[in-house]
Structure 1
């Protein structure tokens, strides 16, 4: 059989999905994220800033100068 990876967005969705799987007698396994929740929030914030164009771009020469 195939494996499904489900990523509910909130607790309400998680409860509904678990209830549906139990009602259908489908075996499932819950795992916690291996990442620190604060780290995940920082990454999500950075992605949002990038979508909004709030980024700084550097040329190769500028990066080389910063790394001296």
Structure 2
């Protein structure tokens, strides 16, 4: 059985570690993976382009026509 603890405060983590160790549990710490830097760059560039007026406006019908 797996138990997942989320949002554990840094000061409380040693308590959980020592408790788990005394009970013979294995602790696996998984860090959240950050977004792909290229993806973030594209999103930020897109926001900048829109602010600079480089975007286009489309109606829902035009968008749906593209998806067909």
Q: Between Structure 1 and Structure 2, whose CA radius of gyration is higher?
A: 2
TM-score (norm 1): 0.46
